[in-house]
A and B are shown apart, each in its own frame.
Chain A
Amino acid sequence: MIGEFEFLILSAAAHLGEDAYGAAMREVIETAAGRTCSLGALYTTLDRLEAKGLVETQMSAPTQERGGRAKRMVRVTGNGTLAAREFYESVVRISVGTAWGRAPRDAA
């Protein structure tokens, strides 16, 4: 199973779709999770996810807003989607009945 930060990266990439790249994903993670995300953590985790086949990355054409530098575009693979869903569902399952989770259906 993937880790929490890997899940955040997969979710950010899925959320951004075709516009998923380092700086944008970092912005999404920091805004949504309310935590600092270093470029080191982001790119080393991306490498790990790519090695596991959960994401695919490729270089984009250089853009003017980045001083003529390329972006590393990220795309979540089918396996990445499955892994993120598995992580999400286990978090939901384990949270049922807790103070922070949803109430169990049969208890309502």
Chain B
Amino acid sequence: MKREGVVSGAGWRCIKTAAGLLAPLEREVVLGDLAEADRGALRGLIDVLGLAARRQIAFWTSWRPWAASLGLALPASLYLMFWSVAAGDAAGSLVGEPSNLRLLWLCLSRLLLLSCWSWTTGYTVSAVSRRTLWASLLACCVPCLDCLSKWPGHGLSGLELLIFLVPGLGGAWCGRQQLRLGLSCAIFLMAIAMLAPITAGTGGWMYGCWLLWPGGYLLTKAIRRPALISKSH
């Protein structure tokens, strides 16, 4: 090891931390190049950050990051916040009247719709553009923080706005891990996702329909996969 000792201490730690922005294989190659060359910590850091910036810019020349962040994460977070409040409201009412079967049904159905749609959305956001997940998270967080700052209360906690984040982040994690979905699972999630805008009432109906494409994406992905497997065999 020739140069890792020269750029030692805090400088090398900074370089290694910055290299976390790169893909694992490229990270090893770049750190190896920097360890071999005598360039100094600052130059090494500029090199790593420059490469990471170039890689990110390259990602954004594709439609995928735009579709995932501005086309889905941003509008879906607004709609899912509405569903979070609806589900939270139903759950609150059920706590007041636990024997009310109508409330129980309302609460369970809203929670199911919210969970499935949020999971589907999180999965799609992550699967469509894994490397720009940070931008999709940002696009999701901005309206959430804005709504939280303006939340009037009326007996409801601001955290009720964010119930959707739990299944959504779970879906995003599964999408990032490239979890394989079966066809029946994809059809189920798509059907649930179609129910959500229909039951949302007139206001959110058209807006909700526009957000149906994650269901279609899941279905397409589930249909395509067996064909690819059979081709590879």
Contacts and interface: CB of A to CB of B under 8 A. Distances in A.
B101 interface: no
Interface residues of A, number: 23
A66 B51 contact: no
A26 B46 contact: no
A67 B37 contact: no
Contacts of B33: 21-23, 26, 39, 66, 71
B228 interface: no
Contacts of A66: 1-2, 32-33, 35-36
Interface string A9-46: 00000000000011100110000000000111101100
Nearest to A72: B29
Contacts of A72: 29
A105 interface: no
Contacts of A70: 28-29, 32
Contact of A40 (B31, B34, B53): B53
Nearest to B53: A40
Interface in A51-85: 59, 62-72
Contacts of B47: 38-40
A27 B1 contact: no
Contacts, number: 71
B25 interface: yes
Contacts of A65: 1-2, 35-36
Nearest to B58: A44
A69 B29 contact: yes
Contacts of B32: 23, 62-63, 66-67, 69-71
Contacts of B4: 67
A75 to B, nearest CB: 16
A40 B54 contact: yes
A44 B2 contact: no
B137 interface: no
B226 interface: no
A23 B43 CA distance: 14
B51 A67 contact: no
Nearest to B50: A40
A21 B33 CA distance: 9
Contacts of B36: 23, 65-66
B30 interface: yes
Contacts of B37: 23, 26-27
B43 to A, nearest CB: 9
Given A39-B47, A72-B29, A67 B35 contact: yes
5 smallest beta-carbon distances between A and B, as pairs: A69-B32, A66-B32, A40-B50, A40-B51, A23-B33
12 contacts: A21-B33, A22-B33, A39-B33, A39-B51, A41-B54, A59-B25, A65-B36, A66-B36, A67-B4, A69-B28, A70-B32, A71-B33
Given A23-B36, A41-B54, A66-B32, 12 more contacts: A23-B37, A26-B37, A38-B50, A39-B47, A40-B50, A40-B53, A41-B50, A44-B55, A59-B25, A62-B32, A67-B31, A70-B28
